[in-house]
Structure 1
């Protein structure tokens, strides 16, 4: 298993994002900006930064708003860019909607698979039926994982092999600790907010599944049948969580992208009108129709409105891309892990 206590502990650690662990202000802002923050607030922050940047460049003398030809060319480019962006978003929305259309056979298969999954969750949690609320489903699976970890620790508590007893206990303690953090997050969340999905995404059940499988097979000769069965129960609960996480993540992202499409259409018309207004400000042969003192600020505000669809695009795509990147795994196949990041040392033919 390893030559030292530290090495053994590392093999039991999760290398995913850790729910509930405190971080520094920079890390907290980074997480808020990427996935945790309200997307409209993030888009507003991006727009505010653009406004401050344009005004600052004007105050420093880097740019000016005196030459009408330059400003009108920029306005024309912004109109064309806004049309292209809105068209792209509409295409994305159509792609999302196309996933909702299916034949009777495919709809039945999808429905039956969801029913089978819900029955598995109900059986695992020992309840009559699985709740309809997604957060409650995740909470039940987390409760099952915690329960199976406690049962596993109790089962190996009397094992004669000290290494088995201590290693499995450390592993189950880690599973329980992380399950408690996710449970606290889920209790304060609803499916309409991203915090519930974020808790599911950050819970690194893939690594726990990998460790459980390795420990079960590594200590197969030292484990009692009851302990082996308990390992299987824990592995089954972790698999259920993986399936639930993928289902709810997909559903949420569909809703998220659909909402993004709506907001982009809402912002598209004001954006195009603002770009046109920028050009009309310089349509008079005598120069801009507003005073030179306020002109830079008026044009800066209009530019921010023109770029509002782009700010929305940045805020929503950052979240969807981050979520997809952090969940780019199937079971214990974890491409985002470094090969040297605490895996168990194994060699071909070791069990022969």
Structure 2
């Protein structure tokens, strides 16, 4: 194909739906993805506390006006009751992926066994690792090794441009594979460290490029076996990566529902007690102490919303930025 017959199929295609650690703001990335959810919850809670104190200092919220504070706290306490429904919905979502009848569970189990056997056949291993992180690392290692062998499978009389493109493609596979392998070495299953190792690496554009090589540059290869093997490995890697993401999101949702229960109960009890005793405190306690009591009470009642916000931000961001599953590569 002539260079001017159409767009270069090997041109880098950036995706708005993929994890991009380079161009993204560090603060935004920390808030949406990398930051510890409990630390972010603490930061947001401190922000609420500071906002209440600032409103008092600005004369907007008068803590001596017990009626206004009690009305505010009562409304917030009442707003936490729907969180019981939210927790039940999250648990139902998680359990719906885990529960099933015998035939459904058998089909799911056989599908996983079949996929593992396909990967074992591709990688030449008798038994693949049982740990999800180790299994994924095993597939990435095989992909990197195949990428290294790819230039060596070219014919001696291959066109120089074809050789350069294939070598560049193999180097890209190796370069992207190294940080994934290093990150998965110490990754603990269920943590974001394990998931972030596979986001944004070996995306569908590699599979697309390998297929174009196979279709349009077959004559440049003395042996197309490594290229065919690479295509199969990249397809397996796409499935494994999405499976890993699914396991992580299920784990994260389970943790979120448990935290909402931990936070929701003291919020209801503490907020309810504060509503009852605040009129008495407003007349007997020093103004400085009363400001702290009011700020702590409002922050406590907001805590379930804060926890839900911090976890939902990451789950929603992961879902949005890893939507390009499979052979399709959305561009900018």
Is the TM value for this pair above 0.5? Answer: yes
1:257 aligns with 2:253: yes
Residue correspondence of structure 1 range 80-119 to structure 2 within 5 A: 80-119=78-117
Give the SS at the match of 2:327. coil
Residue correspondence of structure 1 range 194-273 to structure 2 within 5 A: 194-220=192-218, 222-224=219-221, 226=223, 228-273=224-269
Check the 8 A contact 1:157/1:165 in 2, yes or no. Answer: no
Aligned residue among 160, 176, 179 for 1:178:
176
TM-score, reference length from structure 2: 0.91
Return the alpha-carbon distance in structure 2 between the equivalents of residues 18 and 223 of structure 1.
33
Return the alpha-carbon distance in structure 2 between the equivalents of residues 73 and 149 of structure 1.
65
TM-score, reference length from structure 1: 0.86
Return the alpha-carbon distance in structure 2 between the equivalents of residues 2 and 243 of structure 1.
35
Check the 8 A contact 1:58/1:296 in 2, yes or no. Answer: yes
Deviation for aligned residue 1:307: 1.1
Aligned residue among 317, 322, 325 for 2:317:
322
Check the 8 A contact 2:148/2:170 in 1, yes or no. Answer: yes
Give the SS at the match of 1:299. helix
Give the SS at the match of 1:167. helix
Stretch moving more, 143-152 or 198-207:
198-207
Aligned residue among 310, 327, 330 for 1:332:
327
Structure with higher RCO (Cα < 8 A, 6+ apart): 2
Identify the residue that residue 343 of structure 1 maps to in structure 2. none
- Count of residue pairs brought into register by the alignment: 328
Check the 8 A contact 1:138/1:244 in 2, yes or no. Answer: yes
Per-residue Cα deviation, 1:13-50 (whole angstroms, up to 9, x for no partner): 6654356x6x7xx8233222212222212211211121
Deviation for aligned residue 1:3: 6.1
Deviation for aligned residue 1:87: 2.1
Provide structure 2 residue ranges, at least 5 long, that are not aligned to the other structure: none
Identify the residue that residue 271 of structure 2 maps to in structure 1. 275
Return the alpha-carbon distance in structure 1 between the equivalents of residues 54 and 132 of structure 2.
47
